[in-house]
Amino acid sequence: MRGVFLLFLTFSLSYGESFITKEEYAAGLYHNPRGVGCHLCHGEAGEGKMVAQYRDNGEKKVFAGPAIRKLSFKDFYEKLNDRILGMPRYYLTDTEIQTLYYYLHREEFKRAAAPQPPKTK
């Protein structure tokens, strides 16, 4: 029994990184970072989304999550760490913030990483 456990442990540690793909992890983090998914306020692709309409002293108002897809990484990082009215406090690690940014820009990252044809003279 002990040998089976050690074999299982060795197997799981050696293949632990391939349990889920980077894209799956990024999507899971975007849809449920700490209970309230980013997509609920910022849309599936970070395009922004209206969350609610309400009246305040007879004036119609809108509560919306702004577009976050076109933010630079620096602005994205700062906004996630600022106290913004209506924004949940997630206490994300730097790696999680990088992963969320990757999720919003994954197609651009894939294009940039794709091999380019050699330039002709």
**pTM for the full model?**
0.74
pLDDT of residue 16: 52
Average of per-residue pLDDT across 6-28: 68
- In the predicted structure, residue 7 carries a pLDDT above the cut 60: no
SS (H, E, C) the chain: CHHHHHHHHHHHHHCHHHCCCHHHHHHHHHHCCCCCCCHHHHCCCCCCEEEEEEEECCEEEEEEECCCCCCCHHHHHHHHHCCCCCCCCCCCCHHHHHHHHHHHHHHHHHHHHCCCCCCCC
pLDDT band at 112 (very low <50, low <70, confident <90, very high): confident
Which of 84 and 75 is assigned the larger pLDDT? Answer: 75
